[in-house]
A and B are shown apart, each in its own frame.
Chain A
Amino acid sequence: MTLLDFARGPAIHWSLIIMATGTIWRLLGVLVLTRGADLSRPRDAFGNFKGYRTVFSRAWPSGEFTTATRYQTAMAYVFHLATLVVVIGIVPHIEFITRLTGASWPGLPNAAGVGAGVLALASLFALIARRVSKPAVYCSTWGDYLSWVLMAAPLVTGLMAFAHLGPRYETMLAIHILSAALLFAWFPFGKLMHAFWFVFSRAQSGVAYAHKGVRI
């Protein structure tokens, strides 16, 4: 079995199994817990429902914090969008998803994919540079750095595989797939789970504050 066969076969398969199991485990392990009840009378009868808009409105910082959060907001947006483009725009990735789900859609030209990959990587470096340079603000844990490394690795190896840098293409491709497998396997255990939590977390606060007539 070559490295590529291992990466494309058991490695990615098991990583997906771990990701599926772990993600659902963690989500249900939290969401099935008891819900506290706020018995106090809401400020207006249907006001609580307005709280759900926080799920969307919190996608952008309020005017009060625009300046303070500008760098991070910009970089985080570039990173998330560029990564999304990389994940769903590059043809080999679409092929991978097609094999897994059956869904298929047209891909982007390679130049666009590479551009997005470079942007994603650059923004990731911009974010880690800030994290490292301001330890007082970030209170980083080892999990934060691990998440960063595991996120950066597929971007670096993917770009290297595309550019045919380093080892032979199929070896680089294997390393790229292995790095993605590591990312998948780590996903349920670290802060990457915010991909799911943000919905619940924002909704809860939005509703709790809307209950009191406050729009957050």
Chain B
Amino acid sequence: MTTGETLGEFLGRQGVSRRAFLKFCSAMASMMALPAASVSALADALEQARRPSVIWLSFQECTGCTEALTRSNTPSIEGLIFDFISLDYHHTLQAASGAAAEAAREEAMHENAGQYLLLVDGSIPSVKAYSTIAGISNLDMLKDSAAGAAAIIAIGTCAAYGGLPKAAPNPTGAMSVEEIITDRPIVNIPGCPPLPLAITGLIAHYLTMGSMPELDRLGRPLAFYGENIHDRCYRRPFYDRGLFAETFDDEGARRGWCLYKLGCKAPETYNACAQVKWNQGTSFPIQSGHGCIGCSEPNFWDKGGIYDSVAMGQFGSGPKIAVAASVGAVAGAGAALLARDKKHKTETKMHSDE
């Protein structure tokens, strides 16, 4: 269903000024670490881009990722770019359902074989019965849809790393996209939810460059996930000065001190929250007074408590160490008593030798 309209024409039709568009392009360019001179080239390329066909599959997910992208209170260019793509299948957003919806998906897959982008949110249960759509298991649908995709974008931590459904004890045997599909280019846009700009930014990059951007070792675009939140946090000076909120309602919390001791995971979390922020740059979790929970990192649910600071050892218990100490006490005292015995026997032997 790729139409002839370019993104420039589309945005113009939506009343987006050239100025606002260039501003978006500058932001994109800086996020992607492109030189300033390339902004106009980026803008030109974006303006000329044709609508790509996109199939969006939702598996074990909460729709939060879609919500984050679509529920802006004012239309953003991010949102509009999302509108621009030819979203041929998205079962939360589409009007059709059941056989009609599946027919639309299959049609898009046939018409654009090898061309379409496959967006996935939610993790895939390896036990097929746990989640099906129109009688098709998530696992089968993913394999089927991935076969003809130009690239796959795993949106949200569930799709990227398994997320909440994969948290221990992982009853559904949840898996991430990259654990199942190994023969297609996959880009992870983790986060719970991910930054909308990261999603559209990736799409914009794909539209202009025709390729996927540089990724980190966890398959995330370096442009958005290359930096540690702690390093970019506006509360960092308080960390350096040793000023910490000890509870959520103490003086330190009111004065906006560092949330490290309240379990902020920013030091081990890579995301652009601190620069890009949320809701049109209004705020981000740390700014609102809650520590980062590290939602864009694999297995963040299973890395100890949300309110345990990064430095805390994740061992179950002191009791084990106390048991170990008792074992040591018994062994030590036993060794000494045996040694006493040996000493006395030696003394006796020496006396009898004389």
Direct A/B contact, Cβ within 8 angstroms: yes
CB-nearest residue of chain B to A14: B315
**A32 touching B228 by the CB < 8 A rule?**
no
Interface residues in A76-129 (C-beta closer than 8 Å to B): 91-93, 95-96, 98-101, 106-112
**B325 touching A32 by the CB < 8 A rule?**
no
User: In the complex, which residues of chain A have a beta carbon less than 8 angstroms from the beta carbon of B239?
Assistant: 110
**B333 touching A28 by the CB < 8 A rule?**
yes
**A9 touching B313 by the CB < 8 A rule?**
yes
Given contacts A13-B315, A21-B325, contact A92 B310 (CB under 8 A): yes
CB-nearest residue of chain B to A21: B328
Which of A10, A20, A96 is B311 in contact with, Cβ under 8 Å? A96
CB-nearest residue of chain A to B240: A110
**B268 touching A92 by the CB < 8 A rule?**
no
Given A16-B324, A98-B312, A164-B228, 13 other A-B residues pairs in contact with their CB atoms under 8 A? A8-B313, A12-B313, A18-B324, A20-B322, A21-B327, A24-B328, A25-B331, A28-B333, A91-B242, A91-B311, A95-B260, A110-B242, A173-B310
Binary per-residue interface labels of chain A (1-30) against chain B in the complex, 1 for a CB within 8 Å, 0 otherwise: 010110011101100111011111111111
CB-nearest residue of chain B to A164: B231
- A67 near B: Cβ within 8 Å? no
**A21 touching B343 by the CB < 8 A rule?**
no
Interface residues in B299-329 (C-beta closer than 8 Å to A): 299, 303-304, 308-316, 318, 320-322, 324-325, 327-329
- B241 near A: Cβ within 8 Å? yes
Band of interface residues on B: 35 or more
Min distance, Cβ B24 to any Cβ of chain A, angstroms: 30
**A17 touching B268 by the CB < 8 A rule?**
no
Band of interface residues on A: 35 or more
Given contacts A32-B332, A33-B339, A95-B312, contact A110 B241 (CB under 8 A): yes
Min distance, Cβ B73 to any Cβ of chain A, angstroms: 35
- A169 near B: Cβ within 8 Å? yes
User: In the complex, which residues of chain B have a beta carbon less than 8 angstroms from the beta carbon of A169?
Assistant: 228, 230, 267-268
User: In the complex, which residues of chain B have a beta carbon less than 8 angstroms from the beta carbon of A5?
Assistant: 299, 303, 314
Query: Complex: how many Å from CA A92 to CA B320?
Result: 23
* Interface set of A (CB-CB < 8 Å, partner B): 2, 4-5, 8-10, 12-13, 16-18, 20-34, 91-93, 95-96, 98-101, 106-112, 164, 168-170, 173, 177
CB-nearest residue of chain A to B323: A17
Counting residue pairs across A and B whose Cβ atoms lie within 8 Å, the total is 128
- B20 near A: Cβ within 8 Å? no
Which of B231, B242, B327, B328 is A107 in contact with, Cβ under 8 Å? B242
Min distance, Cβ A115 to any Cβ of chain B, angstroms: 13
CB-nearest residue of chain B to A108: B242
Query: Complex: how many Å from CA A10 to CA B315?
Result: 7
Min distance, Cβ A112 to any Cβ of chain B, angstroms: 8
Interface residues in B74-129 (C-beta closer than 8 Å to A): none
Given contacts A12-B315, A28-B332, A29-B332, contact A17 B244 (CB under 8 A): no
**A4 touching B261 by the CB < 8 A rule?**
no
- B163 near A: Cβ within 8 Å? no
**A96 touching B328 by the CB < 8 A rule?**
no
**B313 touching A13 by the CB < 8 A rule?**
yes
User: In the complex, which residues of chain B have a beta carbon less than 8 angstroms from the beta carbon of A24?
Assistant: 325, 328-329, 332
CB-nearest residue of chain A to B261: A95
Which of A16, A25, A109 is B240 in contact with, Cβ under 8 Å? A109
Query: Complex: how many Å from CA A93 to CA B299?
Result: 24
CB-nearest residue of chain A to B320: A17
Min distance, Cβ A18 to any Cβ of chain B, angstroms: 8
User: In the complex, which residues of chain B have a beta carbon less than 8 angstroms from the beta carbon of A18?
Assistant: 324
**B335 touching A8 by the CB < 8 A rule?**
no
Min distance, Cβ B239 to any Cβ of chain A, angstroms: 7
Given contacts A92-B309, A109-B242, A110-B242, contact A31 B336 (CB under 8 A): yes
Query: Complex: how many Å from CA A26 to CA B312?
Result: 28
- B337 near A: Cβ within 8 Å? yes
CB-nearest residue of chain A to B335: A29
- B340 near A: Cβ within 8 Å? yes
Query: Complex: how many Å from CA A16 to CA B319?
Result: 12
**B313 touching A96 by the CB < 8 A rule?**
yes
Binary per-residue interface labels of chain B (26-60) against chain A in the complex, 1 for a CB within 8 Å, 0 otherwise: 00000000000000000000000000000000000
Query: Complex: how many Å from CA A108 to CA B241?
Result: 8
Query: Complex: how many Å from CA A110 to CA B230?
Result: 14
**A27 touching B332 by the CB < 8 A rule?**
yes
User: In the complex, which residues of chain A have a beta carbon less than 8 angstroms from the beta carbon of B318?
Assistant: 100-101
